[in-house]
Structure 1
Amino acid sequence: MKTIELFSERLKLRLIESSDLNAIHALHSLLETDKYNTLGIPDDIKATKKIITPQITANQQQDIVNYTFAIEELNTGTFIGLLGFNLGSKKYNNAEVYYKLNIDYWGKGYATEALNLILDFGFYNLKLHRIAAGCAIENIGSIKVLEKVGMTREGHARQTLPLKSGWSDNYEYAILETDERKTSKLKAN
């Protein structure tokens, strides 16, 4: 199995594995994290296992194109969230990122720190040109995170997200390898 670990001052990102099932199920089951998520709350742990099994398989490929990382607190090893990083066509040299953190870690800079890590990984290790993300227009926390790392709002897609509350508009963000941003000090293993 491929090992990829990314470190920042407070965080460790590593590829998810089957032993993360309970922590991922707990994260997906939080009403607060479900509010702006199209996944919905899984009915039971078997449903969560069905969701993460293809992600774990994708992480085990020789040439990974869809990464799913566990976000852990570096000092304690506590699982605090997930971050997905899906590569686009090699011709376009791009990717899309998404993240979900446990509510106990909101508003403390962890999402910004994790996103900076993955931007470093994408631009410096994978030599990408463009990394995109999106969020519901009501998701003020994610908007702040995306803008804090230097992403530019490029678009507004109408009624594209099927949320529990109904159809939501989506802001589309991206950052280029040449854009100014706050970077983390990447150490990759």
Structure 2
Amino acid sequence: MRLASTELKTERIYLREFQLSDWQEVHKYASQERVCRYQPWGPNSLKESQSFVKQVLVDSAKEPRTRYALAINNKEDRLIGAGELNIRDAHNKKGEIGYIINPEYWGKGIATDAATLIIGFGFHQLKLHRIYATCDPRNIGSIRVLEKAGMTKEGRIRGDLLMKDEWRDSLLFSVLENEWV
């Protein structure tokens, strides 16, 4: 399933498929230490940002498609982040979301808008039953985004992710199709 830009939009943002030329805008935020502080990747080199976009394009052409990594654009048509939904278990209709936003746009509700659009896409277009997300317990901003997007905190997963040579816990959030309004 290819995504039409008219499918996922609010008054402030729209999500679209990535294009090869997007790597430069991706690099503007993915190369910043503060953006990847709670992530197992980054800060990205130029080559890593280019590789990310190339891999997204490869994954978007796979059948069946299991990765929907989408560019987040503002109403001025500037790429300001990325949102992602990965189908983790097709049989049980489970997906996982994630997002990253250029820090120039932090604190403005952009990540919440993007997460909400992606969740809606997962339930309405992809017919998923359960969508979940994890985040670093220290990432207060991401916790707020997940809660505002309608997800429920299920708990803490101990020693979940090897990040920069140490084990990190993750908080688990989810929403079920029958809870989504």
With the length of structure 2 as denominator, give the TM-score of the two structures: 0.91
Q: For residue 138 of structure 1, report the CA deviation from its aligned partner.
A: 0.2
* Counterpart check, 1:78 vs 2:78: yes
Deviations 1:5-59 (A, max 9, x none): 21111111011121101111122101111111111212x3122222332211111
Q: Kindly tell me: are residues 52 and 125 of structure 1, through their superposed partners in 2, closer, same or farther at Cα, counting changes over 3 Å?
A: same
Q: Give, in whole Å, the separation in 1 of the partners of 2:117 and 2:52.
A: 24
In the comparison of the two structures, how many residue pairs are matched?
179
* Counterpart check, 1:153 vs 2:153: yes
- Residue number in structure 1 paired with 2:125: 125
Q: Kindly tell me: are residues 138 and 4 of structure 1, through their superposed partners in 2, closer, same or farther at Cα, counting changes over 3 Å?
A: same
Q: Aligned ranges for residues 1-189 of structure 1 at < 5 Å?
A: 2-5=2-5, 6-42=8-44, 44-74=45-75, 76-164=76-164, 166-180=166-180
With the length of structure 1 as denominator, give the TM-score of the two structures: 0.88
The CA RMSD measured in Å over matched residues stands at 1.8
Instruction: Please tell me whether the aligned partners of residues 35 and 163 of structure 1 are also in contact (alpha carbons under 8 angstroms).
Output: no
Percent identity over the alignment is 36
Q: Give, in whole Å, the separation in 1 of the partners of 2:150 and 2:102.
A: 23
Q: Which amino acid aligns with 1:53?
A: K
Relative contact order (C-alpha < 8 Å, sep 6+): which is higher?
1
Q: For residue 119 of structure 1, report the CA deviation from its aligned partner.
A: 1.1
Report which stretch shifted further, 29-38 or 130-139: 29-38
Instruction: Please tell me whether the aligned partners of residues 150 and 175 of structure 1 are also in contact (alpha carbons under 8 angstroms).
Output: yes
Q: Give, in whole Å, the separation in 1 of the partners of 2:2 and 2:47.
A: 25
Q: Which runs of 5+ in 1 are unaligned?
A: 182-189
Q: Give, in whole Å, the separation in 2 of the partners of 1:180 and 1:13.
A: 20
Q: Kindly tell me: are residues 26 and 138 of structure 1, through their superposed partners in 2, closer, same or farther at Cα, counting changes over 3 Å?
A: same
- Partner of 2:35: helix, strand, or coil? helix
Q: Which runs of 5+ in 2 are unaligned?
A: none
Report which stretch shifted further, 164-173 or 8-17: 164-173
Instruction: Please tell me whether the aligned partners of residues 2 and 62 of structure 1 are also in contact (alpha carbons under 8 angstroms).
Output: no
